[in-house]
Structure 1
Amino acid sequence: MRRVLILTLFLVSFTTRAKQPNQLHLLRVAVGDFYPYVTCKDGEAKGINVYLVEKAFKAVNVQLEYTCMPWSRVYKSLYRNRQDISFPYLKSSERRNQLYYLKTPLMVTRLVFFHLETMTMPNHEISLKDISDLKLGGVLGYEYGQLIKQYDQKFGLYRSASSQDGFNRLLKDRIDILVEEQNVGEAIIASLPMSQREAITFTPFTETREDTNNYIVTGANNPNKARIDELYEKGLRLLNEQKPQ
């Protein structure tokens, strides 16, 4: 009789725990450097996105533990489930096979072509034909939307280890155009000597809204992906409720 009672209590306890939602109190976050949205200095993550994401998860009692690494390693660590989340990420068909995008966009970015003032760019919407004879540069691990994807597949994008390296290539005429997010590029240019700052300008190019939305991501096979999404949405709702009317 005692054994039957113990077994019954165990089954009731197990069933109760099974019905409870998956509890998450700590998420491992992998990020690279994407100033001013995310900065990694001495292993510490800061920036606009870091502040916003931390506030949302803190509202639902979830702590974030950051690891700084190159973006190419960030990507691998996510789809291999060695890290739980990262941000900010643009959507792409290739990434959808290995990453899960949380529902609500984190922010909207604006990709532009940075180039020297001496270069003349077309004053119409830029097509693949307009840039087919030019050397375009980017950063390892970055995604730039459909136009640059087509260029990369056909001609090859010259990728640097960082945005700073990309601007160095541009100033040394090793590339004709650096594809970069406008605020990121302007922040880097502001740190350059005046003569170099005055030598660089940018030209916008049109992309769809989906190409410019950035998201928090986790691995496509992460067993907690739905719960992470749910917690983030709840955190955002709580933050909105706290705003003064």
Structure 2
Amino acid sequence: MNEVFRSFTTMTKAMLYLALMYFLSLSPAFCQDMKTIQLAAFDYPPFYSEENGEVQGIAVELVRELFARMDIQTEIRMYPLKRALAYLEDGKADGLMILIKTAEREAYIHYTDPVLTVQGLIWAAADRKDVKVNFDRLEDLIPYKIGVTLGYSYGQKFDDMLKQMHVDTGNSDYNNFRKLLVHRMDIFPANEVVARSLFKKHPELKGKFVHSDQSFIEWILHMGISQKSSLVHRISDINTILADLKNEGFIHKTVRKYTE
């Protein structure tokens, strides 16, 4: 009888143990290290671009290094920005590396600590001695013909000022720099990292422009995490690793790789 009881007790413990392990395996905290996460990207060189079916860029290198340190595999897919944000809202994507924080997006996205801060500068052709890119007030720029890129916002104050200016709209930053070079416009506002990456990719542009000493805006870029993703429970870990990547110079080195 004792033998049967001991056998039953042993079997019961084994079943309880297996049941416990099964329920733990369903927990995000338990299975996170083995999970492959889905990250969204959008066409925004040099942060994201797609060549020969492969997504690459500054943001791609950062997320791969970050999540490798967390033993998490990543799948990165390109979408139009509007769809990428919709996937974060629906929980179809776990996150997006380079994102500006807005009140509207905070309804469905949690943000990490800042990843990178980039400056918006005023650019002009180097041979335009009649154009002054430095300004005391934004309004000092109103007399100039200015180029902008279709679909871009340069900050509310700058966007409002554009209503008082002669504006030439181009379909890409690259095309606007080409127009700036041949004096089809006087000035062009552009993200410094994007501009320098274009100069590296297109040597005919390098050394042909000057820029303002001061920025007209600073864009603070975060990683956005879908509120429906299990990554929400790991944001503190992500922030810790982001701090390590900054302190080690990894982020700075990655940006330089695409801009110098």
TM-score by length of 1: 0.69
Structure 1 match to 2:257: none
Deviation at 1:16, TM superposition (A): 5.1
CA distance change for structure 1 residues 20 and 52 in 2, over 3 Å: closer, same or farther?
closer
Structure 2 match to 1:112: 121
CA distance in 1, matches of 2:101, 2:63: 18
Structure 1 match to 2:71: 61
CA distance in 2, matches of 1:30, 1:76: 10
| Structure 2 residue 233 is matched with structure 1 residue 227 | yes
Structure 1 match to 2:31: 23
Aligned AA (1:121): K
CA distance change for structure 1 residues 231 and 158 in 2, over 3 Å: closer, same or farther?
farther
| Structure 2 residue 119 is matched with structure 1 residue 91 | no
CA distance change for structure 1 residues 171 and 124 in 2, over 3 Å: closer, same or farther?
closer
RMSD: 4.2
Indicate which of 189, 193, 214 corresponds to 2:221: 214
CA distance in 2, matches of 1:167, 1:73: 28
Gaps of 5+ in 1: none
Gaps of 5+ in 2: 1-7, 250-260
Aligned AA (2:61): Y
Deviation at 1:165, TM superposition (A): 3.5
Larger Rg: 2
SS in 2 for 1:109: strand
Structure 1 runs (4+) greater than 6 angstroms displaced:
152-159, 237-243
Residue by residue over 1:166-188, the C-alpha shift from the partner in whole angstroms, topping out at 9 and shown as x without a partner, is: 43454566654432221321221
TM-score by length of 2: 0.66
Query: Any conservation in 1 of the 2:97–2:222 contact (CA below 8 Å)?
Result: yes
Question: What pairs up with 1:187-198 in 2 under 5 angstroms?
Answer: 187-192=197-202, 194=204, 197=206
Identical pairs, percent: 17
Structure 2 match to 1:48: 58
More helix by share: 2
Query: Any conservation in 1 of the 2:124–2:133 contact (CA below 8 Å)?
Result: no
CA distance in 2, matches of 1:150, 1:91: 20
